[in-house]
Amino acid sequence: MVGLGSLETVLAFTFNGAILGNGVRGGETVSKLEKMPRIVIPPSELARWGAKWSSNKKGAFNRKDSMQFGKIFDRAVATALAKMLGGLPIEEPGRESLTPAQPNCVEEGACRVIGGIRPQNYDVCYRPDGPRFVFDSKSLNDIKSLQKNYQNMINDLGTEATTVHTRFPYAIVAFMVIVPEPCLRAPQREALTGVLNRLSGRSSPLNSLHKAEAIALVVWDPGSGRVLPTWPKQGSRLRLEQFSEQVQRAYFDRYWGLPPHD
């Protein structure tokens, strides 16, 4: 296992005699693993969406805006993942294609995976030899939606993790749940946070198929565009700044030194 603190040192050496770096060797694309940047959404961009959200008297997005809003998080995750994987290109997946757009790329869009329970589309994928990483963003954008749908969303998270892990136990499953701060009220705030915490933190590919390797609960202020710094509480693995570290740790533990990174 490669600890995060020793990453720069390890990258300076060779692994099993093969120099780590980006290039082509023996017809295969080789990509150097790097540190995964933190996910940061500019407050100005969130504030722009906050103005749309606030312009609705009910405090909500319409269906089209809700779908577009989630894409800013998808793009941020795809960009950070591509950087971690050595500066890979980001491609749009083919419609219902079960293979990547090119041999070694990060895909952003409706990426189709045939799991052990059902076919499932994910928002971001890396699947050079089958799914190694899948990600979905979920947004609950008004009080009524949160009250009505959050338990169904939790069931969906568990099912999405299970359907991947039953066929691909080494795959890393990650989610973001994105909620405007005015909608997250007690007691649902504590209930949602507690169940997301129980669904996150899968560290071994040998058990807990229903859990995700990483989940972030993103609570944002529509007025300022800031991600709320006080919830989840400090130290929680659900905080946005913990997301990249958890993904990186899981990926390095499972794929360090294996093609296309050897």
What pLDDT digit, counting tens, does each position of 203-258 carry? 999 999 999 999 999 999 999 999 999 999 999 999 999 999 999 999 999 999 99
3 state DSSP class of 215? strand
Torsion of CA 5, 8, 9, 14, to 10 degrees: 130
Contact between residue 80 and residue 176 where contact means Cβ atoms under 8 Å apart: no
* Contact call for residues 172 and 251 (beta carbons, < 8 A): yes
The number of residues making up the chain comes to: 262
Residue 35 has pLDDT above 50, yes or no: yes
**To which residue do tokens 């083919």 refer?**
94
Quick one: pLDDT band at residue 15, thresholds 50, 70, 90?
very low
Q: What is the number of other CB atoms lying within 10 angstroms of the CB of residue 260?
A: 20
Comparing CA positions, the residue from 257, 262, 259, 261 lying closest to residue 1 is 257
Please choose, from the candidates 20, 75, 73, the residue with its C-alpha nearest in 3D space to the C-alpha of residue 240. 73
Q: What is the pLDDT of residue 1?
A: 41
Q: What pTM, to 2 d.p., does this model score?
A: 0.87
User: Where does the pLDDT of residue 20 fall: very low under 50, low under 70, confident under 90, or very high at 90 and above?
Assistant: very low
Q: Write down the pLDDT at residue 63.
A: 78
What pLDDT is recorded for position 76?
A: 97
At residue 67, the pLDDT reads 84
Neighbours of 176 (CB within 10 A): 24
Q: What is the pLDDT of residues 142-189, one digit of tens each?
A: 887 787 788 899 999 999 999 999 999 999 999 999 999 998 888 889
Distance CA 145, CA 194 (A): 19
pLDDT score recorded for residue 79: 98
Residue 145 or residue 21, greater confidence = 145
Neighbours of 251 (CB within 10 A): 22
Q: What pLDDT shows up at residue 25?
A: 44
Within 85-216, where are the H helices? 143-167, 188-199
Q: What is the pLDDT of residue 29?
A: 66
| Residue 228 φ then ψ, to 5° | -60, 125
User: What is the reported pLDDT for 7?
Assistant: 37
pLDDT, tens digit, 9 for 90 and up, residues 39-67: 999 999 999 999 988 887 677 787 788 88
The chain-wide mean pLDDT, for the chain, equals 87
